[in-house]
Amino acid sequence: MRQYKLITLLIALVMLLCACGQAVDSGSSAPSSTEPSPTASAVSAQPSPDVTLSTTPIAATPESTPERTSEPSAEPAINTAKASNATGTPLSGIVIGLDPGHQAHSNSEQEPVAPGSDETKKKVSSGTQGRFTGVTEYEVNLQVGLKLKRILQDLGATVVMTRESHDVNISNSERAVMMNDAGASLVVRLHCNGSDNSDKHGAVVLIPSNNCTAAINDASKEAGKCIIKAFVDATGAKDLGLQPRSDQTGFNWSTVPVCNIEMGYMTNEQEDKLLIKDDYQDLCAHGIANGIADYFG
């Protein structure tokens, strides 16, 4: 009986020792289990820039994220190269107006297409939308506009914008008058294109050609030439050249040189997906900035 008790005691001792061994193991594994957590927090920290970049498009986030990780540094490298075109403060003392086209809600009230004209158009149309990403044009226009603003300021310009949020209600004639009143030396209206033909792609710059804008037509054309050239150089987009227009309210009310860049077709799969990407928007903004600097250079 006593022997039996002894054996039981021994077994209990062995079990105790085993338990201690496990405790040591789990102790030593504790640091390794904390290791993943920094990595995990690093991983979870990575998406946060993405979230801020694509604040808007929910549909865009899943697509743009994998693409960005699969082609990490190729585009920013090009970007830096292009950005270096304009250096110093060549735009010092110059007022540049930027008009990111459209707004969150269109306004179908009418306004004259030109001062004194009987012909009217919608105050603000809804703009186009990514056929593949679902992202709206007004979002892309402002994203590029804000990037362009910072670049132009770095080049010494004073930048005035018609809007810096989506929740505004400013008609096209009002936008033009805002820029006139601000004494802008050049106004760039930022837009994206749309077409029923999804093959259609490329960038085009619209320029005023109405009789009522005779005083600014030549200068606007010169600016347009510089901007389309620098834009396609920076982005690799197809050059669709200049398109003179007499029907644009935003041109006809302008008393200062103005042009309108259609940065690409949101109805074309490749351009739609590019235009919502932060890296590509950087290229767009740098291209336009280079064009503006060339015009004033």
| Residues in touch with Zn ion (CB under 5 A) | 101, 127, 191
CB of 127 to Zn ion, least distance (A): 4
Cα–Cα separations (whole angstroms), residue 30 to 11, 41, 43, 44, 120: 28, 17, 21, 21, 73
Of 79 and 267, CB closest to Zn ion: 267
Token pair belonging to 95:
């007022």
- As a whole number of angstroms, the distance between CA 271 and CA 42 comes to 32
CB of 101 to Zn ion, least distance (A): 4
Of 140 and 186, CB closest to Zn ion: 140
Torsion of the alpha carbons at 107, 113, 114 and 116, rounded to the nearest 10: -90
CB of 237 to Zn ion, least distance (A): 16
- As a whole number of angstroms, the distance between CA 48 and CA 34 comes to 22
7 Cβ neighbours under 8 A, 6+ residues apart? none
Token pair belonging to 257:
């040189």
Of 185 and 281, CB closest to Zn ion: 281
Strand 95-100: give its sheet, edge to edge: 158-161, 95-100, 186-193, 258-265, 203-208, 239-245
Catalogue the E-assigned strands of the chain.
95-100, 107-112, 120-124, 158-161, 186-193, 203-208, 239-245, 258-265
The residue nearest Zn ion at its CB is: 191
How far does CA 92 lie from the centroid of its chain? 25
Of 82 and 191, CB closest to Zn ion: 191
Strand partners, 242: 205
CB of 99 to Zn ion, least distance (A): 10
Of 129 and 235, CB closest to Zn ion: 129
CB of 175 to Zn ion, least distance (A): 12
Of 57 and 101, CB closest to Zn ion: 101
CB of 102 to Zn ion, least distance (A): 6
- As a whole number of angstroms, the distance between CA 193 and CA 261 comes to 9
Of 125 and 158, CB closest to Zn ion: 125
CB of 41 to Zn ion, least distance (A): 41
